[in-house]
Amino acid sequence: MNQIDKNLLETVASLHEIPEGAYNIRKDGKSEARNSTAAIQITPKEGVDGIEIHIAPETREQSVHIPVILAKSGIQETVENDFYVGENSDVLIVAGCGIHNSGSDDSAHSGVHTFYIGKGAHVKYVEKHYGEGEGTGSRIMNPKTVVYLEEGASMEMDMTQIRGIDSTNRETTIHVGAGAEVVLTERLLTHGMQKAESRVDIFLDGADSTARILSRSVGQDQSEQIFFPCMTGNEKCFGHVQCDSIIMGDARISSIPAIRANCVDAQLIHEAAIGKIAGDQLLKLMTLGLTEEEAEEHILNGFLK
Amino acid sequence: MLKIENLQYSVAQEGKTTGILRGIDLNVEQNHFMVITGPNGGGKTTLAKCIMGLAEPTGGSIVWNGHGLTHLSITERARLGVRYGFQQPPRFKGITVRDLLTVAAGKDLSHSEECALLTQVGLCAKDYLNREVDTSLSGGELKRIEIATVLAGKASLMIFDEPEAGIDLWSFTRLTETFGKLRDRRNATILIISHQERILSMADTILMVSDGKITGRGTPEEILPQITGETVCFCKALDGNAEGGAKV
Q: How far is B239 from chain A (nearest CA, A)?
A: 38
Q: What is the pLDDT of residues B26-48, one digit of tens each?
A: 999 999 999 999 999 999 999 99
From chain A, pick out residues whose CB is under 8 angstroms from the CB of B83: 287-288
Q: What is the pLDDT of residues A98-145, one digit of tens each?
A: 888 888 888 888 999 999 999 999 999 999 998 888 888 889 999 999
| Per-residue confidence (pLDDT) for residue B238, from 0 to 100 | 54
A223 Rama sector, left if φ>0, alpha if ψ -120 to 50, beta otherwise = beta
- The C-alpha atoms of residue A157 and residue A176 are separated, in whole angstroms, by 14
Q: How many CB pairs under 8 A join A and B?
A: 62
DSSP tag of B132 = B
Q: Cβ separation of B78 and A303 shorter than 8 Å?
A: no
Q: Cβ separation of B92 and A286 shorter than 8 Å?
A: no
From chain A, pick out residues whose CB is under 8 angstroms from the CB of B99: 298, 302
Strands (E), A119-251: 122-132, 139-141, 144-149, 154-162, 167-176, 181-190, 195-204, 209-219, 224-233, 237-247
Q: How far is B244 from chain A (nearest CA, A)?
A: 39
A293 touches chain B (CB under 8 A): no
- The C-alpha atoms of residue A217 and residue A188 are separated, in whole angstroms, by 5
Q: How far is B159 from chain A (nearest CA, A)?
A: 11
Question: What is residue B174's three-state secondary structure?
Answer: helix
Q: What is the pLDDT of residues A231-274, one digit of tens each?
A: 999 999 999 999 999 999 999 999 999 999 999 999 999 999 99
CATH code for the structural domain at B2-241: 3.40.50.300
pTM passes above 0.80: yes
Q: What is the pLDDT of residues B79-89, one digit of tens each?
A: 999 999 999 99
| Per-residue confidence (pLDDT) for residue B236, from 0 to 100 | 56
Q: What is the pLDDT of residues A178-214, one digit of tens each?
A: 999 999 999 999 999 999 999 999 999 999 999 999 9
